[in-house]
């Protein structure tokens, strides 16, 4: 039942130590900086200090109620992240696999379109442009 925003990398194994005791199913999602264009050097992630952790915590708790989670964890990084670096992780633990999968999927859909983070792509040539929100990310949340 932990949400954190940090500049430092996270260690998935350390995050899962002692996570979800009593659960039968654990699901993790890890997002990684991907270079689709071949021109990107890094992402820069801005967030809304004060709002971010509170919003992540409130939403984790809501997902826990909704899907009957035994445990959950959200870690999201900010600042400059090179291609190949971890951006964020979500972990969910439940008695059964369906709840663990659905809760992780739901938390990701929520994070993509409702959590106060903004990404900027930094090119090898020093260029920078803000990543636009995808209509598909907004629409994904309507599934729930």
Report if residue 33 touches other proteins, rule: CB under 8 A. no
Q: How far is the CB of 136 from its own copies (least distance, A)?
A: 9
* Segments of 7-143 assigned E as strands: 25-32, 40-47, 71-77, 79-82, 86-94, 117-123, 128-130
Per-residue mark of binding to its own copies, 39-78 (x: CB under 8 A): ----------------------------------------
The residue among 112, 105, 109, 132 whose CA lies nearest residue 120 is: 132
Compute the half-sphere exposure of residue 38: CA atoms within 13 Å on the CB side of its CA. 0
16 binds its own copies (CB under 8 A): yes
Residue 29 binds its own copies, judged by CB under 8 A: yes
What is residue 58's three-state secondary structure? helix
Q: At its nearest, how many Å lie between its own copies and the CB of residue 13? A: 3
Q: Is 81 in the site for its own copies (CB under 8 A)?
A: no
Non-local (6+) Cβ contacts of 109 within 8 A are 137, 140, 141, 143, 144
Number of amino acids touching other proteins (CB under 8 A) = 30
**Footprint on this chain of other proteins (rule: CB under 8 A):** 31, 45-48, 50-51, 54-55, 76, 87-88, 97, 108, 111-120, 130-133, 137-138
């Amino acid at each position: 039942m932990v949400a954190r925003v940090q500049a430092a990398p996270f260690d998935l194994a350390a995050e899962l130590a002692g996570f979800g005791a009593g659960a039968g199913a654990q699901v993790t999602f890890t997002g990684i900086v991907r270079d689709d264009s071949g021109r990107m050097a890094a992402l820069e992630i801005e967030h809304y200090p004060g709002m971010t952790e509170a919003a992540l915590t409130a939403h984790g708790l809501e997902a826990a109620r909704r899907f009957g989670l035994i445990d959950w964890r959200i870690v999201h990084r900010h600042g400059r992240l090179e291609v190949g670096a971890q951006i964020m992780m979500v972990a969910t633990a439940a008695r059964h696999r369906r709840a663990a999968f659905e809760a992780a999927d739901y938390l990701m859909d929520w994070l993509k379109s409702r959590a106060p983070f903004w990404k900027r792509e930094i090119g090898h040539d020093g260029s920078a442009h803000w990543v636009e929100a995808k209509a598909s990310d907004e629409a994904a949340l309507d599934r729930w």
